[in-house]
Structure 1
């Protein structure tokens, strides 16, 4: 899905309760979250709600479970989806690390005709990118190349993740 991915902290969403990161994949010019916003600009009120929720998480509440639809990936990988509301058109995939860190990936709008991400090629691709990323971050943490900051609010170390299995 990618050969190289960089974790980028989003300062305007990150505060004393949690940090929000996004990813920059390979040689792309814009981050996954910015691309998500641009590709879904026809859903302005939903984007505004998602941005508001991200700010709330970073500055007031942390990454509480009730903001996410959990278990959108493999068991234990933390891949989940952030919704603005239950009947939302948008689905933003992320990886949640406890109540203090979330990595925003990509996503999209789910046409009314689909029930699962596997029915939409783009949603499936975005989901699998985060599954791969989560696995690679876990490996880097086990190798002590990435770790949590002392206060648990940030990643530290080498925040460039290489996918050597990419074909």
Structure 2
């Protein structure tokens, strides 16, 4: 296990705090890399996912019904939600469409979500898609490591489980 990550807070709305991880000695989080990559080539799809992050964060909280279960583990999930008839809609060529861009994440509670990375999904199963498979597998590894860190109390909850805390030098090994 030579790979490690640092946890970084990203942004907080009234109902959800979003976190990500910085792998090894990189400068940007996985989520920041995801945004940088897709803001040019998949601008509208990325905007749709970011709009969902706002809606979930401001209005609903991280309820299970907004997250796709595409994982080996029950905890890893993806955005956007299933279906094309959920507002905010993804519109392509003037029609409601399913957004194929996936952002893998860990819904740790209704108030805390870890955002990882993703790509355009071109197959029914993430494991079968060359675009998302590496992001999907990494998200599963990180989810397992974060779950283990919670069990070991390396990552702890605040009193109402709306924020997390860990030592600033904590390394999450995956």
What TM-score bracket applies, with the shorter chain setting the length? 0.7 to 0.9
TM-score by length of structure 1 reads 0.83
Aligned residues: 158
Deviations 1:93-126 (A, max 9, x none): 0011121111011100123xx2211223341221
* Root-mean-square deviation over aligned CA pairs: 2.1
Cα distance in structure 1, aligned partners of 2:108 and 2:167: 17
| Structure 1: 5+ residue stretches without partners | none
C-alpha separation between the residues in 1 aligned to 2:108 and 2:56?
Answer: 13
Name the structure 1 match of 2:164.
155
Higher strand share: 1
Q: Does 1:91 align with 2:102?
A: yes
Give the TM-score normalised by the residue count of structure 2: 0.80
2:78 is aligned with 1:81: yes
DSSP 3-state at the match of 1:89 = coil
Q: Which runs of 4+ in 1 moved over 6 A?
A: none
Relative to structure 1, is the Cα distance of residues 84 and 44 closer, same or farther in structure 2, using a 3 angstrom cutoff? farther
Structure 2 residues without counterparts, runs of 5 or longer? 84-97
Instruction: Map 1:17-28 to 2 at 5 A.
Output: 17-28=15-26
Equivalent residue number for residue 4 of structure 2:
4
